[in-house]
Amino acid sequence: MSEMEYLSGFGNEFSSEALPDALPKGQNSPQKCPYGLYAEQISGTAFTCPRETNQRSWLYRIHPSVQHEPFKAMERGNLSHDWDEQHPNPNQLRWKPFDLPSNDQEIDFVQGLATVCGAGSPRERNGTAIHIYACNKSMTNRCFYNSDGDFLIVPQKGKLRITTEFGKLDVNPNEICVIQHGIRFSVAIDEPSRGYILEVWGVHFRLPNLGPIGANGLANPFDFLSPKASFVDETYEDGFQVVNKYQGHLFCAMQDHSPFDVVAWRGNFVPYKYDLSNFMVINAVEFDHADPSIFTVLTAPSNTPGVAIADFVIFPPRWAVQEHTFRPPYYHRNCMSEFMGLISGQYEAKEEGFAPGGASLHSMYTPHGPDTQCFEQSSNGELKPFHIGGTMAFMFETSFGLALTKWGEEVCRKIDPKYYTCWSDLKKHFDPNWKP
Ligand SMILES: O=C(O)Cc1cc(O)ccc1O
Ligand SMILES: [Fe+2]
C-alpha cells in the first residue's frame, strides 16, 4: 500500500468518503443521510471531556452496529485479566521467543491472544495488560472489538493486514498500530505471525510532551497514518461473527452483514499506525547515559502528572558517541515495571539470550542492568563513535505492579530459569588503594 492511501497526522479531525458527498454537509444527523446511510457516533471519551482530550467520530454506514443477535459467552483461550492466578513473582524474568501455532492447528489473531501480565481493571478503567499474539490463519467473516481498552499492537513477525470500520491499515514489523476501544477490526495474515500488545484501560495514547527539546522531535505527528474510508456491502448467509472482549471475557454475536460497511466517516477517534524508523532520535552527545524516556513514542498518562499508566518506548538504531562514559544502560532499580520485547537484531545490554520474539520483565525495584559480557566490554572498549544498528527493541513501561498470568509464568513454557546467571560472573573490581 502506498502512503497516499492513508490520512496523515496525529489527533487530527479527519474526513473520509469512499463515495462522493457521502458525508452530510453542515450537520452530523440529517433527517435522511446521503445514500440512505445510517448515522452513528462512536465516542472515545466521555461527552463531557474538555476539548483538548475529547475524541469521537461519526460513521455513515449501511447498517447501524446495533443490528446483531445477542452476545453469547465464548472460550477466551489464554486471555486473562485474573491477576490472582499466580503468586506474585519479583524475579528478573526472561522469555525465549513465544511459539507460533503448530501446523496442525488453525489459530487466528483473536484465538492467538495470550495474556502474559497486567494490573488494574477494565471495570474501573484503570490499568494495563500485556498480551502476545501468535496466529497462522486470517480472520474470515469475523471481527473483534475490545470494550475494555485500547490495543497498541507491535508486530514482530509477519505483516498484519487490518480491516477496520474506518478503512484498511497494513502494519509490518517495525511499524506499530493503535486500535482504540470499541472499534471493530479483522486481521488477515500472509504467513505465521507473532507480536506483542500493550492494552491500556481508561486512557488513550498521546504523544509525549517535548519540553526543552522544542517544537519538533521524537515521533513526529505527520508520520502517524490513519485509514481512508472503504466499505464492504455484502450479506453473509452463514453469518458474520462479532467477537467482543468485555471485562476480560470473550463474547460472540452473529449478524448477516459486514461490520465494515462504513461508507464515510469524520472525527478524531480513529485508529492509526506509525513506522518506528521515522523516530527522530535524541540522545546524549557528550557524556553519560540519558534515561530511556528520551525514546518515548507514545504515552498513556495516569491522573498523576508525569506518571504513565504505560509508556511505549523504543531502543532504535542510533549513534553512541559519549566520551568517558559507560554507554549501555546503567544498573538500576526502577519504581516502574519494565516489560521489554525485541522486534529485530540484538539489544545492547544483553546480546545473548534476549531473542527477537522473546521478552523480559523487570518489575518495580527488581534490580537489573547489563549482563557480564556487556559490562566488561563497555567498561574497557575504546570509546569511538559507534553505530548501534540493525536493531529494534522496545519497552512497555508501567507505573503498575504487574501480575503474571498462569499462561505467562507456566503454560507458555518459555521462561528461561537461568536468566539470573547473566549477572553471576560480574567480578569484584573494588580496589581500596585506588588513586584518582
Ligand atoms: O532495563 C533496560 O534495559 C531498559 C532501560 C534502558 C536504558 O537505557 C536505561 C534504563 C532502562 O531501564
Ligand atoms: Fe531497566
Q: Is residue 262 within 6 Å of ligand 1 at its C-beta?
A: no
pLDDT at 261: 98
Name the closest ligand to CA 363. Answer: 2
Q: Is 429 annotated to bind ligand?
A: no
**What is the interface pTM, i.e. ipTM, of the complex?**
0.98
235: Cα within 13 Å, side-chain hemisphere: 1
Question: Rounded to whole angstroms, how far apart are CA atoms 391 and 129?
Answer: 25
Q: Where are the beta strands (DSSP E) in 172-213?
A: 175-179, 185-189, 193-201
Catalytic residue positions, numbered: 289
Contacts 24+ apart (CB under 8 A), 286-294: 286/322, 286/323, 287/322, 287/323, 287/324, 287/325, 288/322, 288/325, 289/322, 289/325, 289/326, 289/327, 289/328, 289/329, 289/330, 292/329, 292/395, 292/397, 293/208, 294/218
pLDDT at 349: 81
Q: Whose CA is nearest to atom 1 of ligand 1?
A: 369
Q: Is residue 341 within 6 Å of ligand 1 at its C-beta?
A: no
Ligand 1 centroid from CA 26, angstroms = 50
Q: Is 332 annotated to bind ligand?
A: yes
Separation of CA 225 from chain center? 15
Ligand 1 centroid from CA 292, angstroms = 6
70's grid cell:
445477542
Q: Which atom of ligand 1 is nearest to the CA of 368?
A: 1
Question: Rounded to whole angstroms, how far apart are CA atoms 160 and 155?
Answer: 7
Ligand 2 centroid from CA 214, angstroms = 26
Mutate to test the pocket of ligand 1, among 92, 368, 395 (most ligand atoms within 8 A of CB): 395
pLDDT at 271: 98
pLDDT at 3: 45
Cell 458525508 sits at which residue?
A: 23
Mean pLDDT per 10-residue interval, the chain, length 436 residues: 76 98 98 98 98 97 97 97 97 98 96 98 98 98 98 98 98 98 98 98 98 97 98 97 98 98 98 98 97 98 97 98 97 97 92 93 97 95 95 98 98 97 96 96
Instruction: Specify whether the CB–CB gap between 197 and 176 falls below 8 A.
Output: no
pLDDT at 352: 83
Domains of the chain by range and CATH? 69-259+271-276 (2.60.120.10), 279-417 (2.60.120.10)
Torsion of CA 132, 412, 393, 364, to 10 degrees: 100
Ligand 2 centroid from CA 58, angstroms = 42
Q: Is residue 395 within 6 Å of ligand 1 at its C-beta?
A: yes
